């Protein structure tokens, strides 16, 4: 039996990494209209086991466990405490945002009407950041600019 040296093992791992692909993820994001890119992307890999476990429990919807408003406040106060500039300032509902979730048998991207004119661009960004094999946009008033949790307004 041969034993790999540390260098040989590291080389094998490096060789295999070139074939690694990101796993689909659920999460949240904001869209920077000036940079035409997402920022504040928070995500969690969604595994087949998570989907199977949810189905066994009768839970058809799998969601990222944090809210936009929670992350917005956290990032704002972190930047203030560190005296750093931040995009996390002002009212979080005034910045285009969305959520990626799993619903029964498909990924959905919950989004406001702000997204309609740039749907093709958003599709590319969703693929880049969340690696979804397929998904459907779901429009809801909650995700429109100026809308959020009732206690926030």
- As a whole-number percent, the residues of the chain with pLDDT over 70 amount to 96
- Which is it for strands 25-32 and 97-103: parallel, antiparallel or unpaired? antiparallel
Torsion of CA 99, 111, 68, 78, to 10 degrees: 100
Which pLDDT belongs to residue 147? 85
Say how many C-beta atoms besides its own lie within 10 A of residue 144's C-beta. 16
Per-residue tokens: 149:
């949790």
pLDDT of residue 153: 45
Tokens of 24: 């689909």
Condensed to tens digits (0 to 9), the pLDDT of residues 107-153 reads: 999 999 999 999 999 999 999 999 998 999 999 999 999 887 655 54
Helix (H, G, I), strand (E, B) or coil at 153: coil
- Dist CA 27 CA 131 (whole Å): 11
Q: Where are the domains of the chain?
A: 24-152
pLDDT value for 148: 79
d(CA 42, CA 13): 27
């Amino acid at each position: 039996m041969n034993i790999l040296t540390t260098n040989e093992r590291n080389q094998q791992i490096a060789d295999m990494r070139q074939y690694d692909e990101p796993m689909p993820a659920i999460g949240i994001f904001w869209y920077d209209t000036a940079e035409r890119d997402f920022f504040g992307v928070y995500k969690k890999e969604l595994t087949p086991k998570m989907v199977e476990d949810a189905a066994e429990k009768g839970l058809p919807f799998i969601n990222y466990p944090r809210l936009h408003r929670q992350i917005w406040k956290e990032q704002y106060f972190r930047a203030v405490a560190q005296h750093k500039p931040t995009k996390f300032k002002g009212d979080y509902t005034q910045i285009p945002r969305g959520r990626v979730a799993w619903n029964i048998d498909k990924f959905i991207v919950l989004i406001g009407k702000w997204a309609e004119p740039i749907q093709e661009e958003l599709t590319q960004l969703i693929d880049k950041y969340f690696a979804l094999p397929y998904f459907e946009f779901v429009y809801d008033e909650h995700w429109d600019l100026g809308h959020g949790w009732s206690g926030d307004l």
